C-alpha cells in the first residue's frame, strides 16, 4: 500500500455508478480505498478504472454481503479506518421483494456494521452509508405541493407494507428500512463501538460516471431514466421532484467521513428536479438539441421542495447547476451510444 495520510476506506458497491464516484473522490482526497466486490473479475474491472491510483486501491471479495463473516478478510490487515457502505440492490422492478430487495438491503446494512465491530480492531472511526431520498419521502402524499422535505422526514413504511409492496414502492421501502436498521444497530451497540454513523440521502442521482462509459447495457436505474429520453419523442412525466449530481453525492460521502459534526446525522443531498427542466437546459447545447425531445418547454410541475442545505452548512458541500448535471449526463450517454454502435 502506498504511503497515505488519511487512512483506508472500505467501500462496498464500488462497481456501481455512485460507488465509482465515491472511489474517485476518496482517492483524489488522499485516502486509500479497499473496494469489496462479489467476484475477482468484478474487482479487477473496477480497479482498472483508476489506473493512476493503482498503489492506493485494493480489493476484497465479499461474496455475500448479508453475513458479517464475509468481511473478515477485508479487515484482516488492520488498515481499515473508515467505511462507505454503498452496495444495495437498486432494482425498481424486483421479482421477489423480500429476496431481491429487503433482505440484501437490510441484512447488508447491519452486517457491515457488525463486521466493523467484530473485525475492525477498534480502528474504524466513521461509517457513511448511501441511503436515499426514498428513506425520507412519504410516497402516500404524492407531489405534496408547498411541502419542503429535509432530514427530519422519514418514509413511514412498515415492515408489513414493505413485504407486500412491489416496484418503486418496494425499493423505497428497502432503503428506508435499511437506514433505520443501521441507526437502531448503532443505538444498540453504542457502548462497544469505536465509530459513528452518518447517512447520505440523495434523490435521483444523475451526472457522469467516474469512468468512460462505453455502452448503455448496465446503467444504474437513475441514469437509465435519462438514457431513455435520448432519441425519443417524449419527456417523462413527473415522478420524484429531486436530483443530485453524482460528483456532489461522492463529495458528501467523503466529507461526512471526515467532518466531526457529521456523526449521527442524515444528509439530504439534492435540489429540486423536473425532467422537462433538465431537457430544456441540456437542449441549449446544439448537439444535444438534435438528440432530445422538445416536450413542453418551460413547464415546471408544482410539487414539494428539496432542502439540501444541511449538507452545505455541515459538510461545506457546494451544489452545481441542473444545466451542468443534465448536459454532462446526456453527453456521456450520447458518446456511449456512439461507442456501442461502433463496437
Ligand X SMILES: NC(=O)c1ccc[n+]([C@@H]2O[C@H](COP(=O)([O-])OP(=O)(O)OC[C@H]3O[C@@H](n4cnc5c(N)ncnc54)[C@H](OP(=O)(O)O)[C@@H]3O)[C@@H](O)[C@H]2O)c1
Nearest residue (beta carbon) to ligand X: 16
Rounded Cα–Cα distance for residues 208 and 230 (Å): 15
Closer of 92 and 123 to ligand X (Cβ): 92
Q: Please identify which residue in the block is written with the cell numbers 442545505.
A: 309
Closer of 224 and 297 to ligand X (Cβ): 224
Rounded Cα–Cα distance for residues 202 and 84 (Å): 15
Rounded Cα–Cα distance for residues 68 and 334 (Å): 41
Closer of 181 and 194 to ligand X (Cβ): 181
Closer of 102 and 193 to ligand X (Cβ): 102
C-alpha cell at 79: 488498515
Tell the smallest beta-carbon distance from residue 168 to ligand X (Å). 12
Closer of 17 and 330 to ligand X (Cβ): 17
SS3 state of residue 11? strand
- Which residues have a Cβ under 8 Å from the Cβ of 147 and sit 6 or more positions away? 141, 304, 305
Tell the smallest beta-carbon distance from residue 267 to ligand X (Å). 12
Closer of 123 and 138 to ligand X (Cβ): 138
Q: Please identify which residue in the block is written with the cell numbers 411541502.
A: 147
Tell the smallest beta-carbon distance from residue 89 to ligand X (Å). 4
Tell the smallest beta-carbon distance from residue 45 to ligand X (Å). 9
Tell the smallest beta-carbon distance from residue 225 to ligand X (Å). 8
Tell the smallest beta-carbon distance from residue 3 to ligand X (Å). 28
What does DSSP say about strands 32-37 and 204-206: parallel, antiparallel, or unpaired?
unpaired
Give residues in contact with ligand X (CB under 6 A): 13, 15-19, 38, 42, 65, 86-90, 104, 130, 132, 175, 202, 204-205, 220, 222
Q: What is the dihedral of CA 205, 168, 220, 100, to 10 degrees?
A: 130
Instruction: Check if the beta carbon of residue 186 is closer than 8 Å to that of residue 193.
Output: yes
Rounded Cα–Cα distance for residues 335 and 113 (Å): 39
Rounded Cα–Cα distance for residues 122 and 192 (Å): 9
* Terminal alpha carbon distance of the chain: 36
Instruction: Check if the beta carbon of residue 8 is closer than 8 Å to that of residue 81.
Output: yes
Tell the smallest beta-carbon distance from residue 243 to ligand X (Å). 8
Closer of 70 and 292 to ligand X (Cβ): 70
Rounded Cα–Cα distance for residues 180 and 199 (Å): 10
Rounded Cα–Cα distance for residues 162 and 177 (Å): 9
Closer of 4 and 91 to ligand X (Cβ): 91
Tell the smallest beta-carbon distance from residue 24 to ligand X (Å). 13
Tell the smallest beta-carbon distance from residue 209 to ligand X (Å). 9
- The strand ranges marked E within 121-189 are 126-130, 148-149
Instruction: Check if the beta carbon of residue 33 is closer than 8 Å to that of residue 26.
Output: yes
Rounded Cα–Cα distance for residues 205 and 220 (Å): 9
Closer of 123 and 151 to ligand X (Cβ): 151
Amino acid at each position: 500500500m502506498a504511503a497515505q495520510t488519511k487512512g483506508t476506506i472500505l467501500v462496498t458497491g464500488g462497481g456501481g455508478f455512485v460507488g465509482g464516484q465515491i472511489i474517485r473522490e476518496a482517492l483524489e482526497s488522499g485516502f486509500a480505498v479497499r473496494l469489496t466486490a462479489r467476484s475477482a473479475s468484478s474487482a479487477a474491472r473496477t480497479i482498472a478504472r483508476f489506473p493512476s491510483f493503482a498503489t492506493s486501491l485494493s480489493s476484497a471479495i465479499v461474496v455475500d454481503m448479508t453475513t458479517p463473516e464475509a468481511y473478515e478478510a477485508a479487515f484482516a490487515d488492520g488498515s481499515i479506518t473508515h467505511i462507505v457502505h454503498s452496495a444495495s440492490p437498486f432494482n425498481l422492478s424486483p421479482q421477489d421483494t423480500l429476496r431481491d430487495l429487503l433482505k440484501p438491503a437490510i441484512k447488508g446494512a447491519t452486517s457491515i456494521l457488525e463486521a466493523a465491530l467484530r473485525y475492525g480492531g477498534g480502528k474504524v472511526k466513521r461509517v457513511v452509508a448511501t441511503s436515499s431520498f426514498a428513506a425520507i419521502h412519504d410516497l402516500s402524499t404524492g407531489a405534496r405541493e408547498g411541502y419542503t422535505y429535509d432530514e427530519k422526514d422519514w418514509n413511514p413504511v412498515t415492515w408489513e407494507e414493505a413485504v407486500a409492496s412491489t416496484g418503486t414502492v418496494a425499493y423505497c421501502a428497502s432503503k428506508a428500512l435499511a437506514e433505520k436498521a443501521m441507526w437502531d444497530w448503532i443505538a444498540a451497540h453504542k457502548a462497544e463501538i469505536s465509530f459513528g454513523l452518518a447517512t447520505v440521502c440523495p434523490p435521483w442521482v444523475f451526472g457522469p460516471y467516474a469512468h468512460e462509459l462505453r455502452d448503455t447495457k448496465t446503467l444504474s436505474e437513475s441514469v437509465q431514466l435519462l438514457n431513455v429520453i435520448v432519441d425519443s419523442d417524449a419527456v417523462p412525466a413527473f415522478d420524484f421532484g429531486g436530483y443530485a449530481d453524482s460528483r456532489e453525492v461522492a463529495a458528501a460521502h467523503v466529507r461526512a467521513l471526515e467532518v466531526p459534526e457529521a456523526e449521527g446525522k442524515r444528509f439530504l443531498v439534492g435540489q429540486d428536479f423536473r425532467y422537462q427542466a433538465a431537457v430544456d437546459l441540456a437542449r441549449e447545447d446544439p448537439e444535444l438539441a438534435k438528440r432530445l425531445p422538445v416536450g413542453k418547454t418551460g413547464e415546471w410541475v408544482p410539487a414539494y421542495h428539496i432542502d439540501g442545505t444541511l449538507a452545505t452548512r455541515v459538510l461545506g458541500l457546494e451544489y452545481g447547476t441542473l444545466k451542468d448535471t443534465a448536459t454532462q449526463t446526456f453527453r456521456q450517454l450520447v458518446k456511449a451510444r456512439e461507442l456501442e454502435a461502433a463496437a
